Structure 1
Amino acid sequence: METRGLEPVPDSERTGRVRTLFPTWAAANMTVLLLVMGAGLIVFGGLNLWQVAFVAVTAPVIGYGLVGAVSIAGTRGGAPGLALSRAVFGQRGNLLPGALIWVARWGWETVNAVTGAYGLLAVCDLLFSVRADTAPIMAALVVFVASSFLVSGLGVGALRLCCTWSAYLFGGFSVLVLIHLGIGTQWRALLDRPAGPTALMVAGVGTLAAGGISWAPTGPDFTRYLPRTAPGRSVVGATVGGAALVVLPLVAMGAVMAVATPDLAVSNDPVTFIAASLPAWISVPYLLTAVVGMVLINAMSMYSAGFAAQTLGLTLPRIWAVGVNAAISLLLGSLLMMVATSFLDSFISFLTLLAVTFSAWIGVFGVDQLQGRTYDAAALLDTSPAGAYWYTGGFAVPAVTAWGAGLTVGLLFTGVKWFSGPLAATWIGRNGLGWAATIAVSGGLYALLPRPAGHEDDTPLHF
């Protein structure tokens, strides 16, 4: 069991390998929600197969390219992402983005827990004819959250091992599903579809990239055990490659399924819908491996959320900090499973807000990296006014200002199911690019503002 919390990993223990990032980020995308997204591009976006393929390739390059770039900070500082950002925002200033990111993690874990619980129920229904009543729903949710907590509680070693084997299993069964779909699909009807609007293709890229962007603040959590000499290009390449290897086939698979079963895009229970669309000999093992994948996604999120809680002042060992998030996920998941009405709309709305929330942090943190940030291990843990990262009353004013401005601008361009900013009808807003505006404003403003006292100078970050 990993016992280290926020404290940076000493160089003597940083013996990890860059190649472990490939299965880690492959596992982070092993979710049937990508099938739903692919179906939505066909049904609602009106795109053809080639446009869907463009979206599925471009989105992970953008989203996980940012994840990989931010992850390089983990090799430089050896600490979790939100601990490293204390050096950027100040000990008190870091509480603002940290709290928002922690709360956003609740939503991501809740959505994923609900999807995973549906997967368990679908398998139980196929094997034992278990009906999705209140008791089985809650039992499935408890089993899913408890499994996520177990893996995340054990720590990064267990996560790496599970991600590697599940990536192989999920990939193998996905190939079987693709072959089955390929045999039964009316390819002429699919290939002859006219191209959809370019604006909707751009929106698809923005929405799908948002899922990757939401992992950026957690990237350093999985690279802090890599040596300082780990090449930045290799870190980015392994991150993007692992994600793209899963995103492309799953989104394409969802698009193919939508031709025969367009209701996939609007199903409140997408997992059960997928199970009914495939023969039992494929659907049962495929859903089981998919559930394992979703457990790992939740475990990765809980792992990072535990660090987020600790940066906010929760004085608990890492495993108990993870447990707090597990309890919150269980509570919110039970509410969502009982009251959800439009799963895809809710999911896309959540992804859009999540991306804007995290992008404000990414813009500031990323520019700070490019300016040559180095990290003082002792100062990261020193939350007193005597610490090097106390700055002005605990705040790095330029960073906090840029973060707040970027977040505000991003929300102005955001239009979702529950909220619509005054600029949501503009081209940026309609195409789901509020997160891009957020990064541009927060990063650009931070680059222009003077550095706070105590900022270390070093050589710029090279890839």
Structure 2
Amino acid sequence: MNEDSIRIQNSEKTLTPGKLFYNWFAANIGILGFVYGAIIVSYHLSFIQSTIAALIGALSFTAPGWVAMIGRKEGITTFKLSRAAYGTRGNKIPNFIAWINMIGWVSVNVLTGTLLLTAMFKTINIPKTTLSDAIALAIFGGLVIASGLLKENVLAKIQTWLSWIFGILTLVILFIFLFKANWNEAFQLPSGSWVKGFLPAISIVAAGSGISWSMAAADWGAYVKTNTKPSATFWNTTLGGLIPLFILMSGGVLLSTISPNLANASEPFSVMYNVLPSWFGFTYFLVAVGGLIPQCIISLRSARINLSTVGINISQRSSLVIHGAIVILIPIYVLFVSGNFLSSFELFLNFLGICLASWVAIFLCDSVMYRKKGYDIKLMENRSPIHYKWDGIISWILATLIWLLFTNNAIWNGPFAKGIFRNNSLGVFISGITAILFMFIFYLLKKMNKRD
């Protein structure tokens, strides 16, 4: 593998900072942001506390911004860059986990988009049947798979249009929610615990937004034009995700005053639909469907990049066929065979996603500690002499194990998942902090060995 196959060719670097902004704006304009706002309030926080938590949680998008900036500087996609931190072979495990996680969530989103389309059909008197489910799946899944045929500059233009169209329509929904919200009740919400409520609320938002998107950030940053300042890449990525997410979460805080059960609803889209006037139903479901498409575009593209980075080298057409089959067959199985499969599958994907939180911390630590003069391309080639970089690998394994100790869910109950660590994502922060600590210890040991 030569340098040309590691670095993106200058001729392919067609993205501008503005297109980068709209790419991430589109991915975060989905109305599930309202649900995050309601989840924040469910931790018994005041309006001011909830708003601050939403802002700090949205600031987690500085992580994707940082990763994208590194991708812009080096012209290299995310998991090729992380070979420097883990070694060419050691990198394959988090790389493969990221692939499963991304293609898995694309499948879940395709299923969700299908169900929303059938709900939209019902607003125009088309009943939900096996046939309507199949048609909805063909439409939504077909649009997602078709995006795999397009180049980065075309996808960026599509994301820009989706940002404007669904951004404006989402604002209309937001204004309706704000008009119906009980403002007095919102401002009179009692203050909650800054430790037991505020911190867990931030962790939920950060884990589900900025931290999750970090693994795809350099896949876009690497395609930014070479004359773009790295800082422009950072800010357009960060603000593109932060702004819509914060606005929608703030709306969700107010929405919780009229739909208190939104945070715990199994079908949050239906809860929000019941708040809206009936004449707006078709548009609402259209916006809900449209908000999922940009997320699918980003995840599908990065999943395909990750599969090739793992070392599974197949043609672009074959890659699209394989990924397309996965994102269609899983929804088919859930829709027509076993609906019980979905909850277990989502739990599995959440486990894998959180395992990658410590990967982000180690990747960024490695960049700060060892890559001040840039990345050595030899560390990312298959013929690199460093197959396993043990400080990164050991830090990642230990940090992930420590995360398990502080985590609980339907199938796992860590021994320290008590008090403020119960039923939230604070274990992700513990994992990240632990990963940084281990990396720093290894860094000091290396410096001491050099002195000796």
Instruction: Bin the TM-score by the shorter chain.
Output: 0.7 to 0.9
Deviations 1:332-351 (A, max 9, x none): 334555535998x997x678
- The answer on 1:51 being equivalent to 2:44 is no
Moved more, 247-256 or 325-334: 325-334
Confirm or deny: 8 A CA contact 1:428 1:434 kept in the other structure. Answer: yes
Match of 2:161 among 158, 165, 171: 165
Question: Mapping of 1:233-252 within 5 angstroms?
Answer: 233-252=231-250
Deviation at 1:69, TM superposition (A): 0.9
Give per-residue Cα distances to partners, 1:298-350, cap 9 Å, x unaligned: 1110100001111222221245324423322333334555535998x997x67
Aligned partner of 1:459 in structure 2 is none
Superposed CA offset, 1:91-138 (max 9, x none): 21111111111122233223322322222122111123322x444334
Partner of 1:278: 276
Alignment of 1:75-154 (within 5 A): 75-131=72-128, 133-154=129-150
Unaligned runs of 5+ in 2: 447-452
AA at the equivalent of 2:235: G
How many residue pairs get aligned? The number is 437
Asked whether the equivalents of residues 6 and 83 of structure 1 are also in contact (C-alpha less than 8 Å), the reply is no
Q: Residues 307 and 321 of structure 1 are in contact (CA less than 8 Å); yes or no, is this contact kept in structure 2?
A: no
The one-letter amino acid of 1:34's match is G
Query: Which residue does the alignment assign to 2:189?
Result: 193
Give the C-alpha shift of residue 297 in structure 1.
0.5
Q: Which residue of 2 aligns with 1:30?
A: 29
Question: Is the Cα contact below 8 Å between 2:26 and 2:167 reproduced in 1?
Answer: no
Instruction: Name the structure 2 match of 1:10.
Output: 9
| 1:438 has 2:431 as partner | yes
Change in Cα spacing, 1:228 to 1:411, as seen in structure 2 (3 Å) is: farther
- Matched with 1:461 is none
Code of the aligned partner of 2:20 = L
Give SS of 1:154's match: coil
Alignment of 1:32-431 (within 5 A): 32-42=31-41, 44-61=42-59, 63-131=60-128, 133-198=129-194, 199-211=196-208, 212-228=210-226, 230-336=228-334, 339=339, 353-373=351-371, 374-377=374-377, 380=380, 382-383=381-382, 387=383, 389-391=384-386, 394-425=387-418, 427-428=420-421
Shift of 1:438: 1.8
Look up the SS of the partner of 1:28 in the other structure: helix
Change (3 A) 1:13 1:178: closer
Residue-by-residue CA offset, 1:38-72 (whole Å, 9 max, x unaligned): 22333x323333332222211110x2111111112
Task: State which drifts further: 142-151 or 218-227.
Answer: 142-151
Change (3 A) 1:237 1:429: farther
Instruction: Verify the 8 A CA contact 1:268 1:341 in the aligned structure 2.
Output: no
Secondary structure (helix, strand or coil) at the match of 2:127 reads coil
Query: TM-score, normalization: structure 1?
Result: 0.85
Distance 1:69 1:91 in 2: 22
**Coordinate RMSD, CA, aligned:** 2.9
Corresponding position of 1:456: none
TM-score of the pair, normalised by structure 2: 0.87
C-alpha displacement of 1:141: 3.1
Deviations 1:80-100 (A, max 9, x none): 211222232222111111111
Question: For each residue in 1:203-223, what CA deviation from the matched residue of structure 2 results, as whole angstroms up to 9, or x when unmatched?
Answer: 111011112211112110001
Identity of aligned residues (%): 24
Aligned counterparts of 2:148 and 2:260: Cα–Cα separation in 1: 36
Question: Which whole-Å CA distance do the structure 1 matches of 2:333 and 2:247 have between them?
Answer: 32
Is the contact made by 2:38 and 2:253 (CA closer than 8 Å) also made in structure 1?
Answer: yes
CA–CA distance in 1 between the matches of 2:218 and 2:23? 13
* Partner amino acid, structure 2, of 1:93: G
Q: What letter is aligned with 2:354?
A: V
- Tell me by how many angstroms 1:431 deviates: 5.1
- Native 8 Å contact 1:159 1:300 kept in 2: no
8 Å CA contact retained: 1:356, 1:411: no
Rounded Cα–Cα distance in structure 1 between residues aligned with 2:392 and 2:107: 30
Which stretch has the larger CA shift, 434-443 or 134-143? 134-143
Checking the alignment, whether the CA contact within 8 Å between 1:267 and 1:342 is kept in structure 2 is no
After superposition, what is the alpha-carbon deviation per residue over 1:170-201, rounded to whole angstroms, capped at 9, x for unaligned?
A: 22112222222233333222322222333222
Shift of the 153–426 alpha-carbon distance from structure 1 to 2, 3 Å rule, reads: farther
Question: Residues 449, 110 of structure 1: CA spacing in aligned structure 2 closer, same or farther, 3 A cutoff?
Answer: same
Is 2:391–2:442's contact at 8 Å kept on the other side of the alignment?
yes
* Structure 1 counterpart of 2:438, one-letter code: L
C-alpha distance 35-138 of structure 1, shift in aligned 2 (>3 A): farther
Shift of 1:229: 5.6
| Deviates most, 179-188 or 394-403 | 179-188
Whether the aligned pair in 1 keeps the contact of 2:334 and 2:342 (CA below 8 Å) is: no
Q: Please tell me whether the aligned partners of residues 178 and 251 of structure 2 are also in contact (alpha carbons under 8 angstroms).
A: no
On the 8 A contact 2:40/2:53 being kept in 1, the answer is: no
Deviation at 1:429, TM superposition (A): 5.4
C-alpha change, 1:118 and 1:51, in structure 2 (3 Å) is farther
SS of the counterpart of 1:92?
coil
* Structure 1 residues 449 and 160, CA gap change in structure 2 (3 angstroms): same
| One-letter amino acid of the counterpart of residue 17, structure 2 | V
- Distance change (3 Å), C-alpha of 1:269 and 1:50: same
Alpha-carbon distance in 1 for matches of 2:392, 2:99: 19
Q: What is the alpha-carbon distance in structure 2 between the residues aligned to residue 321 and residue 444 of structure 1?
A: 38
Report which stretch shifted further, 5-14 or 286-295. 5-14
For each residue in 1:228-277, what CA deviation from the matched residue of structure 2 results, as whole angstroms up to 9, or x when unmatched? 56434332222221112211222233333332233433433332333333
